[in-house]
A = this chain, B = another copy of it.
Amino acid sequence: MKLGTLKDGTRDGRLVVVKRDNSVYATADGIAKSMQEALDNWDEAEPKLQELFEKLEAGEVDGEPVDVNDFHSPLPRAYEWIDGSAYINHIVLVRKARDAEPPETLETDPLVYQGGSGHFLAPTEDIPLPNPEWGLDFEAEIAVVMGDTPRGVSKEEAGEHVKLLMLVNDNTFRNLIPGELAKSFGFFQSKPATTFSPFAVTPDELGDKWDGGRVNLPLETDYNGEFFGDPEAGPEMHFSFFDLIQHVTKTRSFTAGTILGSGTVSNEDQSKGSSCLSEKRMLEKIETGEFKTPYMQVGDTVKIEMKDEEGNNIFGTIQQKVVDAS
């Protein structure tokens, strides 16, 4: 099934079930007020939401027409947002771009950082740019929403803790990264508010494309109205979501609604383009000796979506414009 969160003036919005073709939605009245409330009581809420979804699909419930501008990120705020960096090609390229070496444990020990989770941007919300010299970049990713997850989950057990999937734009201030990482405490200032796709879907919506903790579909990014990349999200995800769950649960447990990201989707095949400006810039540097594409400036736009093999837009579209916030 497909879920979303309508903006309704409250902090956490109103939970709705969305028809598979993204045409209409029905509010989850009497089941759960918000996405967090549904996740907090998932075993009880999930079958009721599923039933409503099936009625909506069958036309037995009249829906309201979807306007994605009315949708917030599925969780407008979350208790944790943890982002991995599971695509080796991305790590190698962006570290090269800032003259840093990949860690020695690149292929054996996953990279994850704890992100800010108190305020996410809505899927079509403008991205505020306080200072163009901070080097604003987008990063197109996939994320899972976890249910209650205890400490010490093995990758074999991890699948049962994945309740929903969605897309991410992990907005980043590239030029603030070196100073932050030099202090070794993480990305803090270099990560402004993150954006998620309008809709979150249960894993079964992906059919056999959800396989072993990877999503075997291309993730499409357009930049300023033109193709920017459509790398395959599955094969080159070196650490699967199941590996990442095993990794993050080594020393602690997680509450329902914890979001875990894949990191920027990236393929070695350059014909697939990129999912962030930094990679494109590094490829330009390697080829021509200089960075050509600037980071995002006021007015630039980014669009991120994922289609199934029949061309259906699974998660709805992240579509954002950069605005002056100086």
Contacts and interface: CB of A to CB of B under 8 A. Distances in A.
Interface of A: 11, 40, 77-80, 82, 85, 100, 103-105, 109, 111-119, 128, 130, 134, 151-152, 173, 176, 179, 181-193, 247-248, 250-255, 257-258, 325
Contact of A109 (B82, B115, B183): B183
Q: How many copies does the complex hold?
A: 2
B187 A105 contact: no
A92 B189 CA distance: 23
B103 A182 contact: yes
A116 B173 contact: no
B187 A185 contact: yes
10 contacts: A11-B255, A80-B116, A103-B182, A112-B185, A117-B117, A119-B252, A119-B255, A128-B151, A130-B152, A191-B251
A83 B213 CA distance: 32
A117 B251 contact: no
A222 to B, nearest CB: 25
Contact of A184 (B11, B77, B184, B248): B184
Nearest to A104: B182
B109 A179 contact: yes
A164 to B, nearest CB: 16
B183 A118 contact: no
The 8 closest A-B pairs by CB, nearest first: A186-B186, A118-B255, A79-B118, A114-B114, A113-B185, A80-B118, A103-B183, A192-B251
Nearest to A190: B251
Contacts of A183: 103, 105, 109, 111
B188 A134 contact: no
B115 A114 contact: yes
A251 B186 contact: no
Contact of A187 (B40, B176, B182, B186): B186
A220 B247 CA distance: 35
Nearest to A194: B252
A118 to B, nearest CB: 4
A186 B185 contact: yes
B112 A173 contact: no
A134 B251 contact: yes
A173 B251 contact: yes
Nearest to A193: B252
Contact of A253 (B190, B193, B253): B193
A55 to B, nearest CB: 30
B112 A250 contact: no
B258 A184 contact: no
B114 A252 contact: no
A118 B254 contact: yes
Contacts of A188: 82, 112-114, 248
Most buried by B among A11, A105, A190: A11
Contacts of A187: 185-186
Given A100-B184, A113-B188, A191-B251, 11 more contacts: A77-B79, A77-B255, A114-B116, A118-B255, A119-B252, A119-B254, A128-B151, A184-B184, A185-B186, A189-B251, A193-B253
